[in-house]
Amino acid sequence: MIYFDNSATTKAAPEVVDTYAKVSANYWGNPSSLHKFGEQAFNLLEQSRQQIADLLGVKLSEILFTSGGTEGDNWAIKGTAMAKREFGNHLITTEVEHPAVHNSMEQLKQLGFEVTYLPVDENGRVSAEDLRAAIKPSTILVSTMAVNNEIGAVQPLDEIAAVLRDFPRIHWHIDAVQGIGKGLADKIFNDRVDFVTFSGHKFHAPRGIGFMYKRQGRKLAPLMAGGGQERNLRSGTENLPAIAAMAKALRLLLDNEAAKVKQQREIRLAILHHVEKFPNVTIFSKDLPVFAPHILCFAIAGVRGETIVHAFEEHDIYISTTSACSSKKHVESSTLQAMKIDDGIATSAVRISLDEHNTMAEAEEFNRVFDDLYTQFAKLN
């Protein structure tokens, strides 16, 4: 099997599964309990938090645990709206965000908030100049992704940071679900960002666990009210086995990160340079430094994306249409629509997404199968 759908989810690492099982069996106390079993659980919880903070170069108090990227995005956006409503009601995001961001913004619009969606260029990236022009005295939040989940475009985070340094009271949230472990930490954890959200199952941790970076001193209202866990910001008994497993997964991911990124970039380029030679192929994730090393999006004219996906599946190769969240709903790519790509081509788009376990041999096999399928599709057309 060749698994090229890592942006949808990754396989949990064996060491991570082992950690999950051991913590489940041995640390079953509630971290909020006063007895020794609770204390043991609390200590492991804080050790996991410290490990994540150390790996990312931030403070322990700046790491908050969530159930994943969707909750983190909702929390950063709605929590800011609730905490800063007295200072303004204007939010800025982009036309290419994940539904967790887009739909949160739409919900807030129904509650009277004003939302500006920044347009993108032919590479799916926003303009820092457009951001500056969109800012108003009532602006309280800017939310941008680090890496687009559909085509892999890396947003101009350095330029956005430069703009927002002139507006220190505006919260800036980065959805970094697709950006962790891809050599982008310096851009994501810049000196201006306030909130960054991550999802464990994107880097070989269990599903249903994630974390948020919250800059110390920034106001954020809780969405989950209850027993006051996570410094009174996110109530609910902590999922300690998953948290400890996620800390292990992050350590494994970031070990020798540069070499892993280089390998993914080379595999991506090997596929890109092969498929771009065919006349009916359109590449959306071009060979530019503005694209992440692990995502390649392309289309074969006249063949629907789901047809391409299932054709590769017959050869035990697993890719996806542009987003796992929309693939089964047969929804066209919101990113390609924002890039003004013709619908006839957009509906043919598929995505390859790599991780550190993929190999050049898999890329060569993919290219061989692609040649055969391309010939079959040409006969059908």
In angstroms, the Cα distances linking 8 to 4, 71, 96, 147, 368 are 9, 17, 17, 13, 24
The set of catalytic residues is: 325
Per-residue pLDDT at 327: 46
Low-confidence residues of the chain: pLDDT under 50:
327, 330
Identify the structural domains of the chain with CATH numbers, from first to last. 2-9+257-380 (3.90.1150.10), 14-254 (3.40.640.10)
| pTM beyond cutoff 0.85 | yes
